[in-house]
Amino acid sequence: SFIDLAADAMQRLANQTGTLAVIAVRDGERMMLVKTWRPEGTASIWLEPGHRIPLFGSSSGQAVLAAMSDDKFLALTPAEDLRAFRQDGYAQLLAQGFTIAPVALRYARTVNAVSVPYFAGEFGASVAFSCGALPELLTDDRMMGDVGPALRAVVRDLENRTGHAPALARRG
């Protein structure tokens, strides 16, 4: 599976960046963590698989919404704020290849995260690859200059290895 193929690279990313690396899938109006990688040698409390976070206000939700086809997105009968959130994510994916939820909209003040969508053929939908940590450990500058580009590289490598086009290319 793509999760097995990504496991080593995601563990390395967690170790190198000191972040929790995750794969999350859309579950209604939430994102559910399906796999997590903790940095080795840390004793902190981290989120576990099965934990759900909001679609709106999370970078993982933004990445998945931004990669979703217009038809699938409109089937959610989205409110204007969700439309704007998706559009911002789309602009970020075009500009830099990853999403960071706008500060004012982040669902929690205790976590910062950056995400990249990946089209998972097994699920027939995009999932989010994300890295997150406490804001003092993962600043916006670090997400933009270090962790986001590293995460994007991991997902691009996975796309090359699986022969999948980038999730955004499937948006239509």
Mean pLDDT of 101-130: 94
171, HSE (Cβ side, Cα atoms, 13 Å): 21
Instruction: Say what the pLDDT of residue 120 is.
Output: 93
Phi, psi for residue 25 in degrees, rounded to 5: -120, 150
Instruction: Say what the pLDDT of residue 159 is.
Output: 96
In this predicted model, what pLDDT tens digit does every residue of 146-166 receive, in sequence order?
A: 999 999 999 999 999 999 889
In this predicted model, what pLDDT tens digit does every residue of 34-46 receive, in sequence order?
A: 999 999 887 665 7
